[in-house]
Amino acid sequence: MLNNRNGLIRKLHFLAIILTTSFITIYSLIPLKELPSVESWDKVQHGVAYGFLAFLIGSAYPYNKGFKITLLFCVFLGAFLEFAQTFVPGREGSFGDGFANAIGAGLGLIYVPIVILYFFPINLTNKKSLCKNYK
């Protein structure tokens, strides 16, 4: 029963990653006249979107190499979408937006170990909890 539940959770987690990536991509490439005005909150929205995406991916692969790959993926996705916006009528790519994407992704990854340790605390006084092969 537990394995079936973990499999379902991983599938839902992967679905959330796909939906978030799709939402960011579609929202980034919609012509500007079809979007509501956002005024000065533009950079915050970029940071929150990419932070959430990085958090989702980072929590699916919570290890050092996974964090590096997640950060690279988010930075390259943001840079690609900013470049692609130059071909969308009424849109323009911006280094500031790309920078906000990267900062948001980095901040999103910072929360991964915090949340994991909150929900799955490690007993630092017990060596067995730190090493699976402790004998």
81-118 tens-digit pLDDT: 999 999 998 888 889 999 999 999 999 999 988 888 88
pLDDT at 135 > cutoff 90: no
Structure tokens belonging to residue 104:
């948001």
Are 114 and 56 contacting, i.e. CB atoms less than 8 angstroms apart? no
Burial of 53 (0-12, 13-18, 19+ CB in 10 A): buried
Q: What is the pLDDT at residue 122? A: 64
Beta-carbon contacts of 118 under 8 Å, excluding residues fewer than 6 positions away, are none
93 CB-side CA count, 13 A = 14
Average pLDDT over residues 119-128: 60
What burial class does residue 58 get, using C-beta atoms within 10 Å of its C-beta: 0-12 exposed, 13-18 middle, 19+ buried? buried
